[in-house]
Amino acid sequence: MIAADLPVQRPRGARLMVIDSRGTFAHAPRSAFVQLLRKGDLVIANDAATLPASLSGEHVRTGTPIEIRLAARASLAADDVGRFAAVIFGPGDYRIRTEDRPLPPAIVAGDRLQLGPLTASVEALLGHPRLARVRFEGSAAAIWAALAHHGRPIQYAHVKEPLELWDVWTPIAAAPVAFEPPSAGFALDWAALDRMRERGVRFATLTLAAGLSSTGDPALDRRLPFDEPYSIPESTARAITEHRASGRRVIAIGTTVVRALENAARAGRVVSAGYGVANQRLGPQSRLQIVDAVLTGTHEPESSHYQLLTAFADERTLRNASAALDAHGYRTHEFGDSMFVERRLDARSAGVAAA
What's the rounded Cα separation, in Å, for the pair 218 and 99?
9
Q: Which of 72-76, 221-225, 277-281, 298-302 has the lowest mean pLDDT?
A: 298-302
Same domain as 210, residue 335: yes
Same domain as 252, residue 137: no
pLDDT in tens, 228-251: 999 999 999 999 999 999 999 999
Same domain as 342, residue 260: yes
* 242 part of a folded domain: yes
What's the rounded Cα separation, in Å, for the pair 228 and 73?
8
Same domain as 111, residue 35: no
Residue 79 burial class via C-beta count within 10 angstroms: exposed 0-12, middle 13-18, buried 19 and up: exposed
Same domain as 67, residue 197: no
* 7 part of a folded domain: yes
* 155 part of a folded domain: no
| pLDDT value at 193 more than 70 | yes
For residue 46, what are the β-bridge partners?
206
pLDDT in tens, 75-91: 999 999 999 999 999 99
Same domain as 223, residue 130: no
* 294 part of a folded domain: yes
Mean of the per-residue pLDDT values of the chain: 94
| pLDDT value at 347 more than 70 | no
Same domain as 58, residue 39: no
* 296 part of a folded domain: yes
Q: Residue 264: which CATH number? A: 3.40.1780.10
Same domain as 90, residue 169: no
Same domain as 62, residue 184: no
Q: Residue 128: which CATH number? A: 2.40.10
Q: How far is CA 133 from CA 87, 127, 218, in A?
A: 9, 11, 20
CB 249 within 8 A of CB 290: no
* 142 part of a folded domain: yes
* 44 part of a folded domain: yes
Q: Work out the average pLDDT over 119-138.
A: 97
Same domain as 339, residue 258: yes
Does 346 or 37 have the greater pLDDT score? 37
- pLDDT value, residue 352: 39
What amino acid is encoded at 20 in this protein?
Answer: D
Q: In the listed set 96, 129, 150, which residue is the last one of a domain according to the structure?
A: 150
> What is the band of 346 on the pLDDT scale with cuts at 50, 70, 90?
confident
Structural domain boundaries, residue 92 = 54-150
What's the rounded Cα separation, in Å, for the pair 355 and 289?
8
- pLDDT value, residue 266: 83
* 156 part of a folded domain: no
- For the chain, the three-class secondary structure string (H helix, E strand, C coil) is CEECCCCCCCCCCCEEEEECCCCCEEEEEHHHHHHHCCCCCEEEEECCEECCCEEEEEECCCCEEEEEEEEECCCCCCCCCCEEEEEEECCCCCCCCHHHCCCCCCCCCCCEEEECCEEEEEEEEEEECCEEEEEECCCHHHHHHHHHHHCECCCCCCCCCCCCHHHHCCCCCCCEEECCCCHHHHHCCHHHHHHHHHCCCEEEEEEECCCCCCCCCHHHHCCCCCCEEEEECHHHHHHHHHHHHCCCCEEEECHHHHHHHHHHCCCCCCCCCEEEEECCCCCCCCCCCCCCEEEEECCCCCCHHHHHHCCCCCHHHHHHHHHHHHHCCCEECCCCCEEEEECCHHHHHHHHHHC
Same domain as 343, residue 232: yes
Number of domains in the chain: 2
pTM of the model: 0.94
pLDDT in tens, 254-299: 999 999 999 999 867 789 999 999 999 999 999 999 999 999 999 9
- pLDDT value, residue 4: 92
| pLDDT value at 321 more than 90 | yes
| pLDDT value at 354 more than 70 | no
- pLDDT value, residue 350: 43
Same domain as 210, residue 311: yes
Q: Work out the average pLDDT over 86-98.
A: 96
Q: In the listed set 116, 150, 184, which residue is the last one of a domain according to the structure?
A: 150
Q: In the listed set 107, 126, 150, which residue is the last one of a domain according to the structure?
A: 150
- pLDDT value, residue 349: 42
